[in-house]
Amino acid sequence: MTTAPTPGLHLAVALDGTGWHPASWREPGARADELFTGGFWVDQVREAEAGLLDLVTFEDSFAIDSDRPDRVQGRLDAQLIALRVGPVTSHIGLVPTVVTTHTEPFHVSTEIATLDFATEGRAGVRVKVSSKPDEYALFGRREYGTEDRESLFDEAADHIEVQRRLWDSWEDDAEIRDAATGRFVDREKLHYIDFSGAHFSVRGPSITPRPPQGQPVVTALAHVDVAYRLAARGTDLVFVTPGGVGRDGPTGDAGAILRQVRAEEAAVGREGDPLHVLGDLLVVLDDSADAARARLARLDETDGGELRSDARILTGTVADVADVLESWHGAGLAGARLRPAVTSTDLPRITRELVPELRRRGLFRTAYGAHTLRGHFGLARPADRYARA
């Protein structure tokens, strides 16, 4: 059931524009004027890959987050950013965000499969439920607030299920190229998925053959029970926020969250590998805790208000971060996803200082041991659900 455990921590970075502090774009070196170019994203991901990180995630939203002229406005499609970066990186996992509420599971499944082909097995996807009225108006298909949260999360679970069935809808050896009979494929190895749910029905099979990983890695960010349940039902990884704040208030510490996640896994009867749970941490790093606090104060002053975050904000040194990660690891988390406050400053701190610090503590790899995202997490390439044994 479970494959060999990977020693040490898993480390991810969440990329969002120039960083997670709204004033980050005004920092020297932020390259805000290049935000909509390929080079901007390639350089960030290469920096993360130089630190041998497991993966990067790309935030996404259809709506513009702010109407303030002093905030970044606009963003590119996260899946296409990942695809632009894919061919010019070699090991790091690429995990774009997809909003399940407004997208077609068929399109998302083939896009993520394509990312997996273009990266030879480094694709993942982070599913997200739409919680913004603006996004509903941009699509004009359904009215905001008329469906309860449970229903939207059920739809997200269905979305994942359809993606996964489509990935399996071509068996690995479906392509036969049999000149004698003129057949390119063995259609016995192509499968209708016949999914029927409350929000959509999808017949299948996929137009895209089974991707290199078989099943790309599915992830979600979760702060509350309904989201832990979604992760338990359908994802491989879940990002959580120890010491942070969710919609329903404080999320609890790493141990408490982990117990909730495991309880949901038991409740839904999850089979196969248990969820890999990674803690989210927003980081403002400097040589000393005082210097880091001064940095944050300066950023907050520029923005005109205190930084707010669902994840815990750590203002300090890389050693402080390493301490937190080590304690989370002790509590049973698989690792962490770091949100750099200012990507141009805090990402190099992560890759060039935090990573060596974690290595000194015996907590992080010194070389990539695999070249697929599943491989980084010790997840075996799964058998095809439709294949006859």
Partner 1 sequence: MPKQIHLAAHFPGVNNTTVWSDPASGSHIEFESFRRFAQAAERGKFDFLFLAEGLRLREQGGEIYDLDVMGRPDNVAILQALAAVTERIGLAGTVNSTFNEPLDVARKLATLDHLSAGRAAWNVVTSWDEFTGENFRRGGYLPKDKRYLRAQEMLATAQALWDSWAPGEVVADAASGRFVRDTDAGRFAIRSDQFDISGRFPVPRSPQGRPVIIQAGDSEEGREFAAASADAIFTRHAELDAGKEFYADVKARLAKFGRRPEDLKILPAATFVLGDTEEEAAENARQVQYQQVGPQTAIAFAEQVWNRDLSDVDPDGPVPSFDPKTEDDVDSGAHISKGRASVRMYRDPVATANEWRELGEREGLSLREVVIRKNGRHTFVGTPQRVADTIDEFVQSDASDGFVLVPHITPGGMDPFVDRVVPLLQEKGSFRADYEGTTLREHLGLQPSPTTVAAVSVEA
Q: Using CB under 8 A, which of 8, 43, 46, 63 touches partner 1?
A: 63
Q: Is 198 in the site for partner 1 (CB under 8 A)?
A: no
Q: Minimum Å distance from CB 331 to partner 1?
A: 38
- CA-closest candidate to residue 321, choices 297, 340, 299: 340
Q: Is 45 in the site for partner 1 (CB under 8 A)?
A: no
Name every residue whose Cβ is closer than 8 Å to that of residue 15 and which is 6 or more positions away in sequence. Answer: 41, 44, 45, 48, 56, 57, 58, 59, 343
Q: Which residues in the 120-139 window bind partner 1 by CB under 8 A?
A: 120, 134, 137-139
HSE, side-chain direction, 13 A CA sphere, residue 266: 6
Separation of alpha carbons 70 and 76, rounded Å: 19
**C-beta closer to partner 1: residue 4 or 180:** 180
Q: Using CB under 8 A, which of 36, 173, 305, 369 touches partner 1?
A: 36
Q: Minimum Å distance from CB 213 to partner 1?
A: 14
Instruction: Compute CA distances 74 → 16, 33, 35, 52, 138, whole Å.
Output: 11, 12, 9, 30, 14
Q: Minimum Å distance from CB 170 to partner 1?
A: 7
Of the candidate spans 3-11, 113-121, 269-277, 315-323, the one that interacts with partner 1 by CB under 8 A turns out to be 113-121
Q: Is 68 in the site for partner 1 (CB under 8 A)?
A: yes
Q: Is 58 in the site for partner 1 (CB under 8 A)?
A: no
**C-beta closer to partner 1: residue 151 or 288:** 151
Residue type present at position 295: R
Q: Minimum Å distance from CB 190 to partner 1?
A: 5
**C-beta closer to partner 1: residue 120 or 357:** 120
Reply yes or no: is the peptide bond before residue 205 cis, omega within 30 of 0. Answer: yes
Residues 294-323, mask of contacts with partner 1 (x by CB under 8 A): --------x---------------------
Helices (H), the chain: 38-50, 78-85, 105-118, 133-139, 149-168, 225-234, 254-267, 289-303, 318-331, 343-349, 355-360, 373-376
Q: Is 33 in the site for partner 1 (CB under 8 A)?
A: yes
Of the candidate spans 57-65, 228-236, 253-261, 379-387, the one that interacts with partner 1 by CB under 8 A turns out to be 57-65
Orientation of helix 225-234 relative to helix 254-267, angle to 10°: 60
Of the candidate spans 6-14, 77-85, 224-232, 372-380, the one that interacts with partner 1 by CB under 8 A turns out to be 77-85
3-state secondary structure of 132: coil
307 in Cβ contact with 252 (< 8 Å): no
244 in Cβ contact with 309 (< 8 Å): yes
**C-beta closer to partner 1: residue 171 or 286:** 171
Q: Is 145 in the site for partner 1 (CB under 8 A)?
A: no
DSSP string, 159-204: HHHHHHHHHHSB-TT-EEEETTTTEEE-GGGB----EE-SS-EE--
Q: Minimum Å distance from CB 175 to partner 1?
A: 7
Tokens coding 236 = 């491989």
Separation of alpha carbons 189 and 355, rounded Å: 45
Q: Using CB under 8 A, which of 1, 146, 177, 249 touches partner 1?
A: 177
Q: Is 387 in the site for partner 1 (CB under 8 A)?
A: no
- Contacts with partner 1 by CB under 8 A: the residue count is 80
Q: Is 204 in the site for partner 1 (CB under 8 A)?
A: yes
**C-beta closer to partner 1: residue 86 or 378:** 86
* SS (HEC) of 235-274: CCEEEECCCCEECCEECCCHHHHHHHHHHHHHHCCCCCCC
**C-beta closer to partner 1: residue 96 or 378:** 96
**C-beta closer to partner 1: residue 26 or 359:** 26
- CA-closest candidate to residue 218, choices 272, 137, 142, 148: 272
**C-beta closer to partner 1: residue 209 or 244:** 209
Q: Using CB under 8 A, which of 148, 149, 187, 369 touches partner 1?
A: 187
Q: Using CB under 8 A, which of 16, 47, 54, 111 touches partner 1?
A: 111
Q: Which residues in the 243-282 window bind partner 1 by CB under 8 A?
A: none
